Amino acid sequence: MKNILLATKRLALSESGFVFDPVSGQSFSVNDTGLVILRLAQHQDDIEQLTEQLLEQFDASSVEIKRDVQDFIHRLQGFLK
């Protein structure tokens, strides 16, 4: 999972949620929450610290946020190779 967090640093992100990976040439869109996760992940290498930052921004339990972030990262792996 840490490798995917590191890979987010190379992504180009637009304000509208359009994401481009210059390494793979893949592009895709994310919703507002996905955009927040990607922006935080670009500056964070640790999933626990990322989760803590998300807890400050969203009204959800740490269990929910961890689950959602892990699901998001898992889906992201399909785009970042």
From edge to edge, which strands make up the β-sheet containing 18-20?
Answer: 12-13, 18-20, 27-29
Residues spanned by the domain of 31:
2-77
Mean pLDDT of the chain: 91
pLDDT for the residue numbered 78: 84
CA 52 to chain centre: 14
pLDDT tens digits, one per residue of 5-44? 889 999 999 999 999 999 989 999 999 999 999 999 999 8
The pLDDT of residue 46 is: 87
Cβ neighbours of residue 11 closer than 8 Å, sequence gap 6 or more: 19, 20, 21, 38, 42, 80
Q: What is the DSSP letter of 8?
A: G
Position 42 scores a pLDDT of 94
pTM confidence score: 0.89
How many domains in the chain?
1
Residue 72 sits in a domain of what CATH number? 1.10.10
Residue (of 23, 55, 54) closest to 39 by Cα position: 54
